[in-house]
C-alpha cells in the first residue's frame, strides 16, 4: 500500500453552485472520469479520497476539508465550464501547502491545451485518457522521479482491462453531507425508478456533428471503442448484487451506433435475467433504419431514448450542424417511438449560427408535432474544440465572457446575431403542448394505468395499499410519461 495520500476534486459548481447535492442530473450523478481514475489508482495501491464541491457550503469549507485530508497530491477533472472553479481550487491548494502536487486532466485540457497551460498553480496537465497514465504519474511522484515537463500525454486503455468504476468514491463522500437516497445516483424521470445508476459502455463517436467534432476525436480518437458485452454484463451483475438497482442509463454518446453490439447485449441481458428498464442515447436515422433493433431493445427493457433532434430546419440540420440526419427522419423516429411506447427525451438547440427566426420556428413546429415526453432545449453554445466554435471565433460572434457560460443552458445569450428575447419565447412555445396532444397523452396514461391494474388483478398481485386503479402508491406505472 502506498503512503501517498491522493485527493480527487470534482469542481462541478458552475451550474447549480455549492450546496447543490441531490439537485438533479448535474448535481446528483457521479463523474465517471474521476471514479474510473480512482478505481485505477486504488488497483495500484494508492489511498484515494474525494472532495465534491457540490456537497460543500463554499470555499472556506473546501479549505477545512483540505486541512482534514492533508493530501500529497490533488487531482482535478476539467470541462470547459469548470475552468474557474478548477483555477480557484488549485489556488487554495497551493495557499494551504505549496508542496502539494496538483494534477489537472479532463476534456478541456486535451481540446484547449494552450488555454489550460495558462492555469497557475498546476504542476501537471494530463491529456487524453488517464487510467494508465495517472497511476504511473503517482508512482513517479512517490519515487521522487516525476517528469520534468508539465504536460503528460495519456495512453488509451483497453476498456475491458481497467477496473470497474469506483462509485463508492462519490457515495461514501456524499453520505457525509446529507445524501440519504437509497440510490447510487439521483433518479430523473418516472420511467427510471430508484435505485438508479448510470453506466458507460464505450468511448468516442463515429459521427461528425459540427457542434461536437473534432474535439471528441482529440480525446478518444476518430473511432469509437466499446467494452465487450460480457464486460458490461459482468459490471451490471456486480451492481445488481451491490445496489439492487431498479433502473439505469447508458451515458454513451450513441450506444446504438454499433448494431451488432446492441443485438448481442440485448440477448445477454435477457439471458442473465435482467429486467431493469434503461435509457440510452440514439439518433433519428438509426431508429428509422433499424426498427428491428429497437424491438429487441424494448424486449430487453428499453424505456426511452435520448434523441438529438437538434433542429427542424433542413439547412440548419444538414449544412450548419452536420448532423447527418434529416427532418423527415426526426418525424419518423418519433412516430416509431410513439407507436412502440418508447419514451422520447428530445434534445434540440435554438439560436444556432446563421439561423433565422423562421428557421427557429421550424424547430418549434417540429417539437409541436413530435410531442416528446421530455424537452431538453439549449441555446447553442460554442464549445472549444469544435468546428462551430472556430466559426464563431472567426466571425467574432461569441458573447461568452466567462467560462461559466459554457453551460448548455437555454437562459443566457451565447452568440451575436440572435434575438434572445425571441429565443426565450420560442423555447417556451416549443414546450407548449397543443390541446389535441394533451388529450392524446391523457388517454394514453389512462389506458396504461387501466391495463396495468387489470393485469395485476389477474395475476393476484394487487395489494390492499393500492389505489382504486391498482397502482401501488409511490411506484411509477410502467410506461408512464412526463407532463
User: Which tens digits make up the pLDDT trace of 227-258?
Assistant: 999 999 999 999 999 999 999 999 999 999 99
Q: How far is CA 127 from the centre of its chain?
A: 20
How confident is residue 481, by pLDDT bands cut at 50, 70 and 90? very low
Strand partners, 123: none
How confident is residue 43, by pLDDT bands cut at 50, 70 and 90? very high
pLDDT at 455: 53
Please give the Cα distance from 431 to 371 (Å, whole number): 8
Determine which of 123-127, 249-253, 346-350, 462-466 has the lowest per-residue pLDDT on average: 462-466
Please give the Cα distance from 468 to 456 (Å, whole number): 12
Task: For residue range 291-338, list pLDDT tens digits in order.
Answer: 999 999 999 999 999 999 999 999 999 999 999 999 999 999 999 999
Cβ(406)–Cβ(80) under 8 Å? yes
pLDDT at 447: 73
332 by DSSP, 3-state: which?
A: helix
How confident is residue 479, by pLDDT bands cut at 50, 70 and 90? very low
Q: Between the CA atoms of 229, 231, 236 and 238, what dihedral angle is there, to the nearest 10 degrees? A: 160
Cβ(327)–Cβ(348) under 8 Å? no
56 by DSSP, 3-state: which?
A: coil
CATH code matching the domain that covers 181-432, chosen among 3.20.20.100, 3.20.20.70, 3.10.180.10, 3.30.910.10: 3.20.20.70
Please give the Cα distance from 161 to 132 (Å, whole number): 10
Sketch the domain layout of the chain as residue ranges: 5-153, 181-432
Overall average pLDDT of the 256-275 stretch: 98
For residue 289, pLDDT over 60 is answered with yes
Task: For residue range 345-394, list pLDDT tens digits in order.
Answer: 999 999 999 999 999 999 999 999 999 999 999 999 999 999 999 999 99
Strand partners, 5: 47
For residue 462, pLDDT over 60 is answered with no
For residue 163, pLDDT over 60 is answered with yes
pLDDT at 1: 83
pLDDT at 457: 56
pLDDT at 448: 64
b or e along 57-76 (b: 16 or more beta carbons within 10 Å of the residue's beta carbon)? eeeebbeebbeeeebbbbbb
Overall average pLDDT of the 171-176 stretch: 98
Average pLDDT of the chain? 93
Overall average pLDDT of the 214-239 stretch: 97
Q: Is 313 left (phi over 0), alpha (psi -120 to 50) or beta?
A: beta
pTM: 0.91
C-alpha cell at 51: 472532495
Cβ(282)–Cβ(290) under 8 Å? no
- Kindly write down the DSSP assignment for every residue of 236-293, as one continuous string: HHHHHHHH--SEEEE--S-GGG-HHHHHHHHHHHHHTT----EEEEE-HHHHHHTHHH
Q: Indicate the fold that domain 5-153 takes in CATH.
A: Rossmann fold (3.40.50)
Please give the Cα distance from 13 to 89 (Å, whole number): 12
Overall average pLDDT of the 200-214 stretch: 97
- Phi first, then psi: give them for residue 221, nearest 5 degrees: 100, 165
C-alpha cell at 426: 420560442
The percent of residues in the chain predicted with pLDDT above 70, rounded, is 93
Amino acid at each position: 500500500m502506498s503512503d501517498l495520500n491522493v485527493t480527487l476534486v470534482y469542481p462541478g459548481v458552475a451550474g447549480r453552485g455549492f450546496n447543490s447535492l441531490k439537485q438533479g442530473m448535474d448535481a446528483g450523478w457521479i463523474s465517471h472520469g474521476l471514479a474510473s481514475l480512482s478505481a485505477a489508482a486504488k488497483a495500484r495501491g494508492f489511498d484515494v479520497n474525494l472532495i465534491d464541491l457540490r456537497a460543500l457550503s463554499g470555499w472556506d469549507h473546501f479549505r477545512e476539508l483540505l486541512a482534514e485530508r492533508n493530501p500529497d497530491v490533488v487531482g482535478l477533472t476539467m470541462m470547459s465550464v469548470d475552468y474557474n472553479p478548477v483555477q480557484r481550487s488549485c489556488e487554495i491548494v497551493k495557499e494551504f501547502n505549496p508542496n502539494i502536487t496538483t494534477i489537472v486532466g479532463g476534456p478541456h485540457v486535451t481540446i484547449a491545451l494552450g488555454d489550460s497551460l495558462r492555469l497557475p498553480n498546476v504542476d501537471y496537465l494530463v491529456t487524453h485518457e488517464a487510467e494508465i497514465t495517472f497511476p504511473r504519474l503517482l508512482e513517479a511522484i512517490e519515487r521522487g522521479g516525476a517528469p520534468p515537463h508539465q504536460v503528460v500525454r495519456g495512453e488509451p486503455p483497453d476498456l475491458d482491462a481497467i477496473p470497474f468504476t469506483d462509485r463508492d468514491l462519490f457515495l461514501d463522500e456524499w453520505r457525509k453531507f446529507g445524501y440519504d437516497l437509497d440510490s447510487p445516483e439521483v433518479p430523473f424521470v418516472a420511467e427510471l425508478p430508484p435505485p438508479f445508476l448510470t453506466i458507460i459502455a464505450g468511448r468516442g463517436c463515429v459521427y461528425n456533428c459540427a457542434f461536437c467534432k473534432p474535439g471528441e476525436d482529440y480525446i478518444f480518437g476518430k473511432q469509437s471503442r466499446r467494452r465487450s458485452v460480457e464486460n458490461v454484463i459482468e459490471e451490471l451483475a456486480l451492481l445488481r448484487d451491490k445496489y439492487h438497482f431498479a433502473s439505469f442509463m447508458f451515458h454513451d454518446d450513441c450506444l446504438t451506433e454499433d448494431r451488432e453490439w446492441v443485438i448481442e447485449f440485448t440477448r445477454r441481458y435477457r439471458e442473465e435475467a435482467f429486467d431493469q428498464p434503461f435509457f440510452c442515447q440514439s439518433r433519428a436515422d438509426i431508429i428509422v433504419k433499424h426498427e428491428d433493433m429497437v424491438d429487441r431493445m424494448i424486449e430487453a427493457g428499453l424505456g426511452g431514448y435520448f434523441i438529438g433532434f437538434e433542429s427542424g430546419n433542413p439547412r440548419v440540420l444538414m449544412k450548419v450542424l452536420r448532423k447527418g440526419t434529416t427532418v423527415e427522419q426526426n418525424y419518423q423516429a418519433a412516430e416509431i417511438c410513439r407507436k412502440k411506447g418508447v419514451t422520447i427525451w428530445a434534445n434540440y438547440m435554438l439560436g444556432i449560427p446563421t439561423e433565422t427566426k423562421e428557421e427557429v420556428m421550424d424547430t418549434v413546429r417540429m417539437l409541436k408535432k413530435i410531442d416528446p415526453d421530455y424537452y431538453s432545449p439549449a441555446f447553442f453554445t460554442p464549445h472549444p474544440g469544435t468546428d462551430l466554435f472556430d466559426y464563431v471565433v472567426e466571425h467574432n460572434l461569441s458573447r461568452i465572457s466567462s467560462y461559466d457560460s459554457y453551460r448548455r443552458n437555454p437562459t443566457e445569450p451565447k452568440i451575436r446575431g440572435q434575438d434572445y428575447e425571441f429565443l426565450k419565447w420560442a423555447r417556451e412555445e416549443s414546450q407548449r403542448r397543443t390541446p389535441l396532444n394533451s388529450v392524446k397523452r391523457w388517454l394514453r396514461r389512462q389506458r396504461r394505468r387501466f391495463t396495468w391494474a387489470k393485469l395485476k388483478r389477474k395475476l393476484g398481485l394487487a395489494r390492499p395499499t393500492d389505489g382504486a386503479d391498482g397502482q401501488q402508491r409511490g411506484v411509477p406505472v410502467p410506461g408512464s410519461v412526463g407532463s
